[in-house]
Amino acid sequence: MLSFTFRLPTTLVFGPGRLAELATTPLLPAGKQAMVVIGASGNILRQGYLARVQGLLSDHGVKSIVFDGVRANPRAEDVDAAAAKAKEMGVDFLVALGGGSVIDSAKCIALATAAEGPFWENMAAQKFEGLTGLPVVAIPTTSGTGTEGNAVAVLCGPEGKRGFVHPAFYPALSIIDPELTRSVPQRLTAITGMDAFFHAVECFLSKARQPMSDMLCLEAAHLVTRFLPSAVEDGDDLNARTALSWASLAAGMSLTLASPISQHALEYSFSGSNHESQHGAGLVLLCRSYFSRLIELARNNEDTSDRLLNLAVAMGFGVSGDDDEDGHPFLNALEALLEAVGLGDLRPEDMGFHEESVEEYVQAALKLMGSRQFLNTPVPMGEADVRAIFEGVFER
């Protein structure tokens, strides 16, 4: 029987040029002092985005300080450092300006201010139950994680890479201006776009799915397939950038309306072991082996098999002929998409992963067997399956 919970308390302001509304919007959290959180790479400064956002905040009567220490695959120690600074400076709210790592970090920083002690330990001890922390304004500059529309944050800490869910992680306000994504380079455009795609695919297959997430997932899978190749080819294509910003947001909302499945848990073994790697690239490396195994395990699972075919149709691959002879339509559609965005030849060695470390990756993934990613995988997946998937990554 149909049964679900729908909650999305974030106000979403979406569209090209809408960042300018930061200067006048009545939706801004109350307060006169903000912390702008950005990445450590310096890209936000080079593009002029930081100066622009600080200027808009000033026009609104809000002073701002900057925390620029967020690294790729964000770290718990950086969250603690920023939270200490926010409390010391009397910050009223945070503005997260950047990609998924920045926005996820800002969510954790905001909550970390609500309790004394290290964020990771407090989260493990459930010390944040019932707490809210500081409000967050999310301004994404990439189209991938969709974290601006959900209550999820991913962080690296003592136990590896983990995804956390907390009601306070919903941003108070998210301004999604696709114009800010036009500066993203080709390769990063492709990788972040594939991240959004796999969010959609996994949530559509998830046991935690619901009617709203189903609609959002099919929309996102279709839009990424249709527009990601165009954005990779021409980064100034605002129509494609806008479609991808919406696809990323739609898939991101599904991460809390539904749940990702074990492909994400397996990828944490990659980017958790090599902090210089990119999450979306790790998902690409896993996808052929992972979905081949999933399809094999789902042969007697009619619902999952049907859903995989629905995804293929959303990607423009009609279902016809003999799957055993022609290949599975979803795998064919996936291969075509990877080739179209220039990621078909990506190899694990390119990202710093090596076959001799397979057992390490397997053991890291097995630690997440009790996570929502594994629990919501539509077919049982055990140690032998996990090992076969990682081994398959290195057979190409």
What one-letter code names the amino acid at 117? G
Segment 178-189, tens digit of pLDDT: 999 999 999 999
Task: Over range 44-63, report the average pLDDT.
Answer: 97
Q: From CA 89, how far away is CA 85, in angstroms rounded?
A: 6
Task: Over range 290-297, report the average pLDDT.
Answer: 98
- Helix then strand count (H, E) for the chain reads 16, 8
Domains present along the chain, CATH in parentheses: 11-181 (3.40.50.1970), 186-393 (1.20.1090.10)
- pLDDT for the residue 5: 76
Q: From CA 371, how far away is CA 366, in angstroms rounded?
A: 10
pLDDT at residue 45 tops 80: yes
Rg (CA), the chain: 20
pLDDT at residue 7 tops 90: no
What is the three-class DSSP state of 295?
helix
Q: From CA 125, how far away is CA 131, in angstroms rounded?
A: 13
pLDDT at residue 59 tops 60: yes
Segment 309-364, tens digit of pLDDT: 999 999 999 766 555 567 999 999 999 999 999 999 999 999 999 999 999 999 99
Segment 81-120, tens digit of pLDDT: 999 999 999 999 999 999 999 999 999 999 999 999 999 9
Q: How confident is the model at residue 274 (pLDDT cuts 50, 70, 90)?
A: confident
Phi, then psi, of 160 in degrees rounded to 5 = 110, -155
Structure-token match 């057979």, residue found: 395
For residue 379, what are its two tokens? 């077919």
Find the helix or strand (DSSP H, E) in which 33 lies.
strand 33-39
Segment 15-33, tens digit of pLDDT: 999 999 999 999 999 999 9
Q: Residues 27, 171: contact at Cβ < 8 Å?
A: no
For residue 179, what are its two tokens? 């114009």
What one-letter code names the amino acid at 190? A
- Please give the angle made by the CA atoms of 247, 201 and 190, to the nearest 5 degrees: 55
Find the helix or strand (DSSP H, E) in which 12 lies.
strand 11-14
E strands, 71-210, where?
A: 93-98, 136-140, 152-157, 160-165, 173-176
Q: Residues 268, 160: contact at Cβ < 8 Å?
A: yes
pLDDT at residue 272 tops 90: no
